[in-house]
């Protein structure tokens, strides 16, 4: 990951040093399990535990010669362990080390993503509650439809993020499996009990069955979950971008002192963070697609997935973590303009009450087809003659002969139209389970 989007937490998790540290712990743990079973001398296992270490630079130096990262690591480990190193990696294959360590890295990275997502959920919840009653125009096809509230809009995103959290948890669980089953996964040289005990000590589950590798549908599920969280962040970002347009201007990204929006136009305040999140979400979808391509490997294994995973998993975790942190910053500092929301709503001169009037007519016995046509003709007067919808309605005897003034007053009551919003908040937030 380029420095611009890298985060310190993910850099540490996906570093060579961290990967080799996992490899060391796996190899040592297997030796200890085998010693407990009487398969290798206990003194050898204790010596391996005490002396096992590596130097990242030395491993990479050896790899340049042998062209095999695991052999390079084991060679360097043996330089420190000495004669007892003959027990290290006995009966194992490279993927026992690679895939089990990969599971540990994914689980740790997933935990970082989860924490950042929970922080964002808290921020969105707080902002949604604060704006539960901030009335604005709801839009479909980009055109004014019926009123909603800004808080309700945020609540919809909160619920999508909560679903994303559940998917992320499931993806982490899918990848929290190790395998110590040897070449082609038959346990020919290490009993299944060794795999189970080793994985348990590492905090992983043992794969019920594997080939020479763990099956890659697990990893595809994780990146699919990551991409879907990114898609929700993009959904939020696109909405902010639209609402920040000059001709709408209902919200605005934070704009710091000294910040500049354009190299050419001093007046510009652009939604640059939202645009960045939109772009990065495209990367995540590409990574998810690539992970799905890794599922179909040749026979018991090939390594066509390996080069891909070395790029897409660290980068996807960096990318989503960066996006979550930026969206949290954006939500916390988002500037909301309630007066502008009301001013924009006023532009349609009450047309957002058209459905309410139509439904009242059907309740009064008018066919839906006639009710729709009558109200639509009044709405067209609003578009063409710029008269308020209520004025057009009051001038239409077909409608006023069936709906009295009190009924029409209720039809044009904004509070009545939004009366269920508090219930939607109570119902949705009652499901909070993280």
Beta bridge mates, 140: 143
Residue 86 DSSP symbol: G
- Helix 94-130 to helix 150-175 angle (10° resolution) is 170
**Hey, what are 221's tokens?**
């599920």
141 is catalytic: yes
CB neighbours of 327 closer than 8 A, spacing ≥ 6? 120, 233, 236, 237, 277
Q: Which of 274, 281, 280 is nearest to 240 (CA)?
A: 274
CB neighbours of 16 closer than 8 A, spacing ≥ 6? 56, 59, 60
Q: Which of 233, 239, 253 is nearest to 321 (CA)?
A: 233
Instruction: Check 15, 80, 144, 262 and give the catalytic one.
Output: 262
* Cα–Cα dist 221/243, whole Å: 33
Q: Which long-range contacts (CB under 8 A, 24 or more apart) does 360-368 make?
A: 360/403, 360/407, 360/408, 360/410, 360/411, 361/399, 361/402, 361/403, 364/402, 364/403, 365/402, 366/402
Phi/psi of residue 178, each to 5°?
A: -115, 170
Contact 205, 215 (CB under 8 A): no
CB neighbours of 256 closer than 8 A, spacing ≥ 6? none
Instruction: Check 15, 80, 85, 141 and give the catalytic one.
Output: 141
Which residue carries 């058209």 as its tokens?
354
Q: Which of 215, 214, 212 is nearest to 182 (CA)?
A: 212
CA angle centred on 328, ends 322 and 334, rounded to 5°: 130
Phi-psi region of 350 (alpha: psi -120 to 50; beta: other; left: phi over 0): left
* Cα–Cα dist 430/62, whole Å: 57
Q: Residue 67 burial by CB count (10 A; 0-12/13-18/19+): exposed, middle or buried?
A: exposed
**Hey, what are 368's tokens?**
């839906």
Catalytic residue annotation: 141, 262
């Amino acid at each position: 990951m380029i420095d611009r989007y890298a985060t310190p937490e993910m850099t540490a998790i996906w570093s060579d040093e961290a990967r080799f540290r996992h490899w060391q712990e796996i190899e040592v743990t297997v030796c200890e399990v085998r010693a407990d079973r009487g398969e290798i001398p206990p003194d050898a296992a204790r010596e391996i535990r005490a002396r096992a270490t590596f130097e990242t630079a030395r491993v990479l130096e050896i790899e340049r010669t042998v062209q095999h990262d695991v052999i390079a690591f084991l060679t360097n480990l043996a330089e420190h362990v000495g004669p007892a190193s003959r027990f290290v990696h006995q009966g194992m294959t490279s993927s026992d080390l690679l895939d089990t360590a990969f599971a540990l890295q994914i689980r740790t990275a997933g935990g970082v993503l989860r924490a950042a997502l929970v922080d964002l959920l808290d921020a969105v919840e707080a902002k949604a509650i604060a704006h539960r009653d901030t009335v604005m125009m709801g839009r479909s096809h980009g055109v004014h439809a019926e009123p909603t509230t800004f808080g309700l809009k945020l609540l919809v995103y909160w619920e999508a993020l909560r679903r994303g959290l559940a998917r992320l948890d499931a993806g982490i669980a899918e990848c929290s499996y190790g395998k110590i089953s040897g070449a082609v996964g038959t346990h020919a040289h290490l009993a299944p009990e060794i795999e189970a005990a080793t994985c348990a000590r590492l905090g992983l589950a043992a794969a019920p069955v594997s080939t020479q590798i763990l099956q890659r549908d697990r990893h595809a599920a994780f990146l699919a979950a990551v991409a879907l969280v990114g898609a929700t962040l993009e959904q939020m970002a696109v909405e902010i971008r639209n609402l920040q347009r000059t001709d709408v201007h209902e919200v605005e990204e934070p704009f710091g002192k000294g910040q500049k929006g354009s190299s050419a136009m001093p007046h510009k305040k652009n939604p640059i963070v939202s645009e960045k999140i939109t772009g990065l979400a495209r990367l995540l979808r590409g990574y998810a697609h690539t992970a799905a391509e890794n599922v179909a490997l040749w026979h018991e294994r090939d390594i066509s997935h390996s080069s891909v995973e070395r790029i897409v998993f660290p980068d996807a975790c960096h990318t989503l973590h960066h996006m979550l942190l930026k969206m949290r910053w954006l939500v916390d500092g988002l500037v909301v303009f309630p007066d502008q929301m009301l001013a924009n709503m006023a532009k349609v001169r009450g047309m957002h009450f058209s459905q309410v009037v139509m439904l009242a007519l059907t309740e009064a016995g008018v066919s839906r087809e006639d009710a729709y046509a009558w109200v639509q003709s009044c709405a067209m007067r609003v578009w063409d003659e710029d008269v308020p919808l209520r004025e057009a309605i009051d001038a239409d005897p077909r409608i006023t002969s069936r709906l009295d003034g009190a009924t029409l007053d209720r039809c044009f009551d904004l509070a009545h139209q939004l009366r269920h919003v508090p219930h939607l908040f109570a119902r949705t937030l009652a499901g909070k389970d993280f």
